[in-house]
């Protein structure tokens, strides 16, 4: 026993190194997003408030560009208003607002911390429990989808970016409605892969890919990107499709958190069917 203690004392530098590395390994396994998910650390208190302060500064510098983007989006949305459209054939059909329910609620939020260069990327937004944000709500920007809410603290929430090895999003080809799955291969934050599009489908470069609305997270028809390259290996039953994201994840500042108000109802219905 004494010999052992003496040995440890003699090599205390090495043993201390082992202890600290062990501690780090413990942190990695018990806390990390990829190895296991619990990201709440970063959305807590002190670090978030420093990041938030720094962001208010950088946002101020980028105001001109941000205003331009928002104005652009406003213009696009204005086009969609009933008032700026005219019915080609007047069949007397009138939209009665009492027949329409709000299905998705959008809430604006600001990104206070963003990453896009790692293999698994996360964002932190400045809305939390106080703003009724809940886990697994969708997050979209004016240009395209961004990610899914993971953890929520009082004032902040963390978002698993589309740029994450575990993210898989139901998408479809807008032109013909064929659905597939979006995966990010971790190489370039401008591109991703679309899987499971069968080989008999006719594709064209530049086809728009949107969300399919199959999951209860994102509404239907939110733009994801366009087909940048596609290839059909001999004998393969699915295409290899490369998609170019429509959003520039390096520059996203303002996003919308999407709340599906009918999600619980849908979930209950699904559970009922599974139980039978």
Partner 1 sequence: MSKIIIINSLRFILLILLQVLVLNNVNLGGYINPYVYVMFVLLLPFETPKWLLLLSAFLIGLSIDLFMGSMGMHAAATTFMAFLRPSVSRIIHSRREYEPSIKPGINDLGIKWFLSYTLLLVFAHHTLLFFIEAFRFEEFFSILNRIFLSTIVSSLLIILLNLLVKKERK
Query: Residue 182 CB: number of other CB atoms within 10 A?
Result: 23
Judged by CB under 8 A, does residue 54 bind partner 1? yes
Judged by CB under 8 A, does residue 49 bind partner 1? no
Judged by CB under 8 A, does residue 35 bind partner 1? yes
Judged by CB under 8 A, does residue 70 bind partner 1? no
Q: Give the 3-state secondary structure of residue 50.
A: helix
Judged by CB under 8 A, does residue 189 bind partner 1? yes
- Select the residue interacting with partner 1 from 34, 67, 233, 237 (CB under 8 A): 34
Pair 156, 43: CB distance under 8 Å: yes
Check residue 213 and give left, alpha or beta (phi > 0: left; psi -120 to 50: alpha): left
CA distance 138 to 136: 6
Pair 180, 194: CB distance under 8 Å: yes
Judged by CB under 8 A, does residue 8 bind partner 1? no
Q: Report residue 107: phi and psi, to 5°.
A: -130, 130
Judged by CB under 8 A, does residue 24 bind partner 1? yes
Pairing relationship of beta strands 145-152 and 138-140 according to DSSP bridges: antiparallel
- Select the residue interacting with partner 1 from 78, 119, 134, 154 (CB under 8 A): 119
Near partner 1 by CB under 8 A, which window of 20-28, 129-137, 215-223, 235-243? 20-28
**What is the smallest separation between the CB atom of 248 and partner 1, expressed in angstroms?**
12
- Select the residue interacting with partner 1 from 42, 131, 168, 232 (CB under 8 A): 42
Near partner 1 by CB under 8 A, which window of 36-44, 72-80, 127-135, 213-221? 36-44
> Which residue, 256, 253, 255, 249, is CA-closest to 116?
249
Near partner 1 by CB under 8 A, which window of 93-101, 102-110, 113-121, 239-247? 113-121
Q: First-to-last CA distance in the chain?
A: 64
Judged by CB under 8 A, does residue 7 bind partner 1? no
- Select 139 or 197, whichever has its Cβ closest to partner 1: 139
Angle at 56 between CA 52 and CA 59, to 5 degrees: 125
CA 269, 270, 274, 276: dihedral to nearest 10 degrees? 20
**Region 127-186 residues binding partner 1, contact defined as CB under 8 A:** 158, 186
Using only the alpha carbons of the chain, give its radius of gyration.
24
Length of the chain counted residue by residue: 276
Judged by CB under 8 A, does residue 41 bind partner 1? yes
**What is the smallest separation between the CB atom of 12 and partner 1, expressed in angstroms?**
7
**Binding residues vs partner 1 (CB under 8 A):** 12-14, 16-17, 20-21, 23-35, 39, 41-43, 47, 50-51, 54, 58, 115-119, 122, 124, 158, 186-189, 250
């Amino acid at each position: 026993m004494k010999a052992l203690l003496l040995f440890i004392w003699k090599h205390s530098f090495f043993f201390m190194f082992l202890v600290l590395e062990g501690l780090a390994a413990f942190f990695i396994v018990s806390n990390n997003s990829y190895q296991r998910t619990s990201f709440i650390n970063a959305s807590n208190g002190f670090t978030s408030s420093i990041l938030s302060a720094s962001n208010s500064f950088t946002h101020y510098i980028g105001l001109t560009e941000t205003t331009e983007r928002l104005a652009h989006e406003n213009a696009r949305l204005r086009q969609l208003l009933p008032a700026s459209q005219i019915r080609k054939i007047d069949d007397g059909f009138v939209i009665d607002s009492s027949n329409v329910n709000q299905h998705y609620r959008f809430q604006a939020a600001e990104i206070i911390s963003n990453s896009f260069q790692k293999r698994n990327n996360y964002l932190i937004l400045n809305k939390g429990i106080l703003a009724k944000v809940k886990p697994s709500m969708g997050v979209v920007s004016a240009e395209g989808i961004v990610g899914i809410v993971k953890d929520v603290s009082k004032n902040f929430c963390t978002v698993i970016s589309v740029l994450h090895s575990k993210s898989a999003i139901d998408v479809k080809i807008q032109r013909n409605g064929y659905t597939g799955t979006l995966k990010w291969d971790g190489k370039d934050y401008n591109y991703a892969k679309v899987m499971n599009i069968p080989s008999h489908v006719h594709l064209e470069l530049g086809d728009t890919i949107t969300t399919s609305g199959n999951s209860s997270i994102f509404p239907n028809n939110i733009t994801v990107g366009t087909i940048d390259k596609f290839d059909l290996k001999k004998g393969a039953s699915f295409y290899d499709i490369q998609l170019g994201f429509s959003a520039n994840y390096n520059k996203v500042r303002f996003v919308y958190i999407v709340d599906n108000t009918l999600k619980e109802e849908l979930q209950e219905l699904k559970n009922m069917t599974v139980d039978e």
